[in-house]
Amino acid sequence: MPNLKEVRNRITSVNSTRQITSAMKLVSAAKLRRAQDAITNMRPYAEKLSEVMGNLSQAAEGSDSPYMEQREVEHITLVLVTSNRGLCGAFNAQIIRRAKALVSTTYADYAKNGKLSLVTVGKKASSWAAQSGFNHQASYDELYTDLSFPNVVPAAESLMEQFALGETDKVVLIYNRFVTAASQWVTEEQMLPVMPPQSNEAKGNGVEYIYEPDKASILENLIPISLKTQFFKVLLDSHASEHGARMTAMHKATDNAGELLKSLKLSYNKARQAAITNEILEIVAGAEALES
């Protein structure tokens, strides 16, 4: 049984940890509220933009947009979106795990032939990509410092330019989609080339739009906006998911620390009781020895 000093030190240490995790939980909860509002407000715009794109699907079939060019995939780019910090459970690990699974199965031939590139957002993904042995093309870890549409646009434009110049033939985004504070879904989403929306889905709402000047011209301008919006929405999803995962992880850590404190205090009381009992026995034994 550990002595009283060791148990007291452990109780002090666990109690300090519990206070830290509780504070981090409150901070993450406050940040989650803002991040959740951002993605909640963004989704209706993104959905409406997709609806308009769907309505333009007939024009999309004959579009000359370089972002819709369907060509044989010889080079692929994976965009991994994680966080800059840890202490958020399996949030980062599951993105890296999915990337490892893809490069060893679906995209194994591209990885083997050096035709696979990695673009990362978040220090956790950048750290793994730098050690992975694959072509780590670019990292955008600084985007989380001020996550706004104007700051995200250059990164999206870089990916779009690479595709338009033929440097890559497919761009896939891997990120955590925000569902609830306790639930995030690892999602693979193709960014480029743009797939023409299904016309039957577009006509499902029964709305007929009047376009000026014409569908094809509007589509040419709408596709780049749609791609930048898609990339921004992915980052907002990941950002909200990060704070939700961290809040949940810190909540569990605080609860676990509380349970450990109960166990340590019980051990401390038992050790203290045993020490007092031994002292009483020694006093009684000494008194009996004096009487005899």
Structure tokens at 210: 């009047």
Select from 57, 51, 58 the least CA-distant residue to 204. 51
CB-based contacts of 246, cutoff 8 Å, min separation 6: 24, 28, 87, 88, 89, 91
Q: Where are the beta strands (DSSP E) in the chain?
A: 76-81, 116-121, 135-139, 170-180, 183-192
DSSP three-state, residue 249: helix
Q: What does the buried/exposed string (b/e) look like for 118-136 if buried means 16 or more CB atoms within 10 Å of the residue's CB? A: bbbbbbbbbbbbeebebeb
Active site residues: 88
Name the β-bridge partners of 78.
118, 172
Structure tokens at 218: 């509007």
**What's the rounded Cα separation, in Å, for the pair 124 and 140?**
11
**What's the rounded Cα separation, in Å, for the pair 94 and 212?**
46
Select from 3, 46, 7 the least CA-distant residue to 263. 7
**What's the rounded Cα separation, in Å, for the pair 118 and 141?**
13
Give the orientation angle of helix 149-164 with respect to helix 215-291, to 10 degrees.
Answer: 120
CA 41 to chain centre: 19
